[in-house]
Structures are given as structure tokens and as C-alpha cells.
Amino acid sequence: MCGIVGFVGNVKAKEVIVHGLKKLEYRGYDSAGIALNIDNDIKVYKAKGKMENLEGVLEGKELDSNIGIGHTRWATHGEPSDVNAHPHSSESGDIVIVHNGIIENYLDIKKGLKAKKIVSETDTEIVAHKLNENYNGDLLDTLKRTIDEVRGTYALVVMHKEVKDEIVLAKKGSPIIIGTSEEGNIIASDIPAVLKYTNKIYILEDGEYARVTKDEVQIFDKKLKLIKRDYIEVDMDEKTAEKDGFDHFMIKEIHEQAKVIEKIVNTKKLEKVKTNIKRYNKIYFVACGTAHYAGLIGKSILDRNTNAAVFAEVASEFRYNEPKIDRKTLLVVTSQSGETADTLAAVRMAKEKGARVLSFINVVGSTIARESDEVIYTMAGPEIAVASTKAYTSQVMTMILTFSKMFGKAVDVVNESKELMMKFDNVLDIEGYVKQLSNKYKDVDRAFFLGRGMDYNLAKEAALKLKEVTYLSSEAYPAGELKHGPIALIDDNTLVVGIMTDERLYEKTISNLKEVKARGAKVLAIINDRNDLVLDVADDVIYIPKSQGEFNAVLANVPSQLFAYHMAVAKELDVDMPRNLAKSVTVE
Ligand code: M6R
């Protein structure tokens, strides 16, 4: 949450920072701002709303500076506004900072401040004043002494007007990397911000500090002892983070899924899995949002193949449900970003109690990836749209392949995966039809997604996708449960989508669809079979190719992704950056 970019180098800082912030806008878009050191004077520009507003403020300004910091915000403390936008300055304007995270004791620090003028409602501004009070001519030492007084999470990046050749930073709990290039050194919350210039990246760990000049990146431990660290070269380039002719990242990412599956199958069939699943008698799948729904599919595979007790919980609740964790417990974590705060907290708790952590992560080198006992990378490539699509597919696919290896069924699964790749293209062929349906149903008041068994898990992901990009009230229910209350909401402007991939359950789900149809609902069926009963009840039917077991979760999810996308387009909403959301949720 929140995107940070800092630059010091040989080219105009404004260009590098604005470019980077646009790449990080998926992390939050409540406001944006930039601070540049111009001839020992710090100039700050901010704007509420998306980056285009900040670009409007900067337009026509000749800002000649090679050093600066910038921020795109997802509001926590204080409403989205110009004044609450980062960068925040000390009263004198000498020090300017950007921050991602939450300073928990900011009210205590505020009480002791000498500064008279506190202009924003943010926790971050308090730190700017504190830094100014602690300033002793050595910016890094000042940052360390200030951090010693702070409790909370932070990626904190600091500039001083008299120190016009260096930026200092500290990290705990929020990600920050430094890309090193010929043009200079770029600090950023995530890799896409630096890919235009470099793929050589330093990753900072919790408790570490860095001093960045145009020629050097120095990393220090928590006592400010210099650490020797090499950069890593990431296997990504700028193009992988571009729209590539598509109107939005979301639809580009939906279309990329066949390639992602191919890459996963070709790579994972050769990779060894170290975790011996037979050693565990309790297995918890823990994650948030879409990643949790992918975890539900993982759970269903293990339910069928192990004697262990298998649970799946959302990470934000897991710690409070008093899970019984010991050395015979395996925690299976799914996360696109590898930075989700609740998921990370669950990992740390489980490890402390002796569990093994096996994680399925997309972002290489992310915190959860680094802290897991074993990480399986899900290889989806950068996912920019806030609504997750290809990351879900990649998580389900890597779990299918990984678990099948554990159970000695890898060969069958690889063959089935190859068929899946072909079927996947057929599913994408229905896009035109799904678009028509989206236009037909765009004005419904609410939507329900119904399913039984694994189809209920698919319904959860489908309902989340639709609500996050269209703002429609959209809920998933086990098909048989609707009549125990929610059926009261059904009227003739309600859309009910029935998901049916398990022929053993068709008839029962179709009966439930009849119940809502009788009460006026419009019924859309997603099914992997030609079936007369469904034609009798559904206003519209989307057919998908039939597949084996959990592979259905990969195929049957695509129509729901396309439906959510085209509904949002039909409603003229901002598909890639839906209101109130951020891609990477790094606060609990
Ligand atoms: O980065 P993660 O996979 O850990 O993120 C988890 C959720 O925040 C994420 O899946 C969220 O639900 C998406 N916006 C859903 O599209």
C-alpha cells in the first residue's frame, strides 16, 4: 500500500520519479506528490487523486533537479486530500519524507514535539518534525536515532535540503528496493518502477537502512554497520509491465493466462519439491482475498489426497482463532505480492510455534518468499491490475502441479495440463459473447453467485471479482443455503449466476436456480456440459470445456473474470484502479 519512488543521479529526477509513480499507482491512488531539491531548496508538489492530477500540477514547470522523492498514497491516517498527501515536510521545510506503513505511536511522539505548525492528519508528518528535531548534520544517523523512537511499520525515505547528493531510508514491514542504473540509483516500493532503467536490484530487509547517492548504494544493519550486499538481476523487463495494445491491464492479464500456464507446466515439471507432506497431520491454507480463494482449491486437492486435517482460513482471522500449531503443522501460504501484512503475520506466528511454511508467491524476493521454509514461485509475471486474475490461475496451477508431485501423480497432471492449455484458448473465444451479456446485465441491482462443492469456491472468487471492479453488491452462497435467508433479497433486478462444473451436483444446483427464477431473478449459468435442464431455467448459458477435477477451477473462473471486466467497462468505471482499493495490502 502506497508507492514510493526516490531518485539521485545524472538525469532529471522529476522524469524518473513521475514515471516510477505511474508504475506504482496500483499500490494506491488517493493522492500523489513529489519533492525535489533545487539549489538547496526543497520544492514540494502534491495533488489529491490519481497521478494525472499531479502531472497537471507539474505541467510546464522547468524543475531542474537530479535528486527527489515521490509518493502515491492509499489513505490510512487522514482523508485523501492535498494536505494529507506525501511528501511531508518539517516545519522549517528542511527535511522532507515519504512513508509507506503505519507509525503506531505517532500520537505519543506528537505530544513531545517542539514544532508548532502541524498541518496534516497523518502519522507521517509527525516523523518529519521529529527528524528535524533530531538532525545533527548526519542524515543517516539522524534517521537511525528517530527510528529508535518509532513503533510501527515503515519504508521511510528522507531528504534534507542541505544534503543535496544523498537520500537515506529505513525499512521495517513495508517493502523497498533500490535499482542501480547508469542514469543513477532509484529507490522504489516495487520493481516495475525501475524496469525502464535497470533490472539490477538491491533488496532491503527489515531493520536495515540505506544511504543512496548517484554513484553508490550503501546498506547498513540496525546498528548502522555497513553490510556487503550484491544486487540481484530480475528476469523482467519494462515490456512485461505495459498494456501491450489492450485497453486495460486487467484484460491483458486475463489474456496472458494461457502463456502463464504453459510457462508453469514447462518449469515446474522439472523443479524438485522439498516439503514432505506426509510428515504433517495438520495443514492450514492461509491467505487473503483472491489468494485465499486459490487456497480453497489447494485445500480440496489435499482433502482428497492426505489423511491430514486440512483447514483454509483468511489470514486476518487465522491468528485469533487459536490455531493448534506445532512441529507437525504445515502452513501453506498463497500470495501474489508476498507482502500482505496479515499473511506475513500468520507466517511469523506459525514459524514461531514450530510449523513449516510452504508458500506459493508471485513476486520474487518478497518478504513472505524470503521468510518461508520453501517457496514455489507462481511465475505469473507482474500483475498490475488491482483485481487479481492471472495470479489466481498461476496459484491454482502451481498448487496442482506441486501437490501432484508430492503424491507421485506428476506425469498424469502434466499431460492434463497440456490439454488445459488448448482448452484455455477456447474459453477466451467466448469473450465476445460474455461482453454482450455484460451489456445486457449491467444495470442489475445486485448479483449472487451460487455453487456447490468446489463450485462454491469458484463462486466466491467470481463474486469478489465482480464487486471490486463494478461496485455492485455481489455475494457468493452455497447454492442450497440461499433459501435460509438471502433469498429475501431476490427480485426481478437481481442476477443469479450458477456455476456448475461437477455433474454429480448439476441437478441440485439447477433446482436452486429454479427457486430464484420463480422469484423473478435473472439467471445466468456457467456450465461445462450441454444440459437440457439448465436450458429450462437459465436466461443465458456460458459453456466452458470440460476438464478434470481442480483444473475446472482454472477454466471455469475465466468467464467470471471476463464478465466482471466487461461489466466494469460497460459501466464506464476505472477497471484497473477501482475506488478504495490498493494492490498490495501492507497494513493489517
Ligand atoms: O498479494 P496477495 O495475493 O497476498 O493479495 C491478497 C489480496 O489482497 C488480493 O488477492 C485481493 O483480494 C485482490 N484485489 C483481489 O482481486
Both 366 and 465 in one domain: the answer is: no
Mutation pick for ligand 1 pocket among 189, 253, 336 (CB with most ligand atoms within 8 Å) = 336
Task: List, for residues 468-506, the tens digit of each pLDDT value.
Answer: 999 999 999 999 999 899 999 999 999 999 999 998 999
For 214-226, what is the mean pLDDT?
97
For 140-155, what is the mean pLDDT?
96
Residue 564 reports pLDDT greater than 80: yes
Both 410 and 468 in one domain: the answer is: no
Q: Which of 2, 390, 465, 517 is catalytic?
A: 2
Both 286 and 414 in one domain: the answer is: yes
Query: Which DSSP helix (H) or strand (E) runs through 76?
Result: none
Residue 185 reports pLDDT greater than 90: yes
Q: Rounded to the nearest whole angstrom, what is the distance from the C-alpha of residue 242 to the centroid of ligand 1? A: 20
Tell me what pLDDT residue 584 has: 79
Tell me what pLDDT residue 419 has: 85
In contact, 297 and 322? CB cutoff 8 Å: no
Tell me what pLDDT residue 269 has: 79
Residue 440 reports pLDDT greater than 80: yes
Q: Which atom of ligand 1 is nearest to the CA of 585?
A: 8
- Please list, in sequence order, all residues whose beta carbon lies within 8 angstroms of the beta carbon of residue 551, skipping any fewer than 6 positions away: 400, 416, 417, 420
The identity of residue 305, as a single letter, is: N
Both 334 and 378 in one domain: the answer is: yes
CA distances from 71 to 79, 91, 194, 238, 311 (A): 16, 20, 14, 20, 39
What total of structural domains would you count in the chain? Answer: 3
Domain termination residue (choose one: 410, 428, 446): 428
* CA-proximal residue: ligand 1, atom 4 (nearest): 335
Both 267 and 218 in one domain: the answer is: no
CA distances from 432 to 436, 546, 559, 573 (A): 6, 20, 11, 19
Domain termination residue (choose one: 239, 267, 290): 239
Q: Rounded to the nearest whole angstrom, what is the distance from the C-alpha of residue 14 to the centroid of ligand 1? A: 31
- Cα separation, 86 vs 96, in Å, equals 9
Q: How many Cα atoms within 13 Å fall on the side-chain side of residue 253?
A: 25
For 200-215, what is the mean pLDDT?
96
319-328: buried (b, 16+ CB within 10 Å) or exposed (e) per residue?
A: beeebebeee
β-strand pairing of 154-160 with 177-180: unpaired
Task: List, for residues 533-558, the tens digit of each pLDDT value.
Answer: 899 999 999 999 988 888 999 999 99
In degrees, to the nearest 5, what angle opens at C-alpha 185 toward C-alphas 182 and 187? 145
46-50, 63-67, 201-205, 580-584 — which is least confidently predicted? 580-584
Tell me what pLDDT residue 549 has: 85
Q: Rounded to the nearest whole angstrom, what is the distance from the C-alpha of residue 584 to the centroid of ligand 1? A: 7
328 is catalytic: no
Both 413 and 487 in one domain: the answer is: no
Domain termination residue (choose one: 217, 239, 261): 239
441-452: buried (b, 16+ CB within 10 Å) or exposed (e) per residue?
A: bbebebbbbbbb
For 191-211, what is the mean pLDDT?
95
Highest mean pLDDT among 190-194, 407-411, 446-450, 499-503: 446-450
The pTM (predicted TM-score) of the whole model is: 0.84
288 is catalytic: no
Both 436 and 481 in one domain: the answer is: yes
Mutation pick for ligand 1 pocket among 190, 285, 337 (CB with most ligand atoms within 8 Å) = 337
Backbone angles phi, psi at 385, to 5 degrees: -60, 140
DSSP character string of 284-322: EEEE-HHHHHHHHHHHHHHHHH-SSEEEEEEHHHHGGG-
Residues with CB under 6 A from ligand 1: 288-291, 335-337, 340, 343, 386-388, 464, 468, 584-585
Task: List, for residues 360-379, the tens digit of each pLDDT value.
Answer: 999 988 889 999 999 999 99
Tell me what pLDDT residue 22 has: 95
- Cα separation, 530 vs 547, in Å, equals 14
- What is the extent of the structural domain holding 19? 3-239
Both 354 and 453 in one domain: the answer is: no
Mean pLDDT over the full length of the chain: 94
Q: Identify the three-state secondary structure at position 4.
A: strand
Task: List, for residues 82-133, the tens digit of each pLDDT value.
Answer: 999 999 999 999 999 999 999 999 999 999 898 888 999 999 999 999 999 9
Q: Rounded to the nearest whole angstrom, what is the distance from the C-alpha of residue 581 to the centroid of ligand 1? A: 10
Tell me what pLDDT residue 234 has: 87
Percent of the chain with pLDDT over 90: 81
How would residue 561 be classed by pLDDT, with cut points 50, 70 and 90?
very high
* CA-proximal residue: ligand 1, atom 7 (nearest): 289
Both 119 and 192 in one domain: the answer is: yes
Q: CATH number for the domain including 285?
A: 3.40.50.10490
Tell me what pLDDT residue 418 has: 85
Tell me what pLDDT residue 86 has: 96
Q: Nine-digit cell at 261?
A: 500456464
Both 121 and 225 in one domain: the answer is: yes
Both 154 and 275 in one domain: the answer is: no
Both 422 and 441 in one domain: the answer is: no
Q: Rounded to the nearest whole angstrom, what is the distance from the C-alpha of residue 334 to the centroid of ligand 1? A: 10
β-strand pairing of 540-543 with 184-188: unpaired
Residue 237 reports pLDDT greater than 80: no
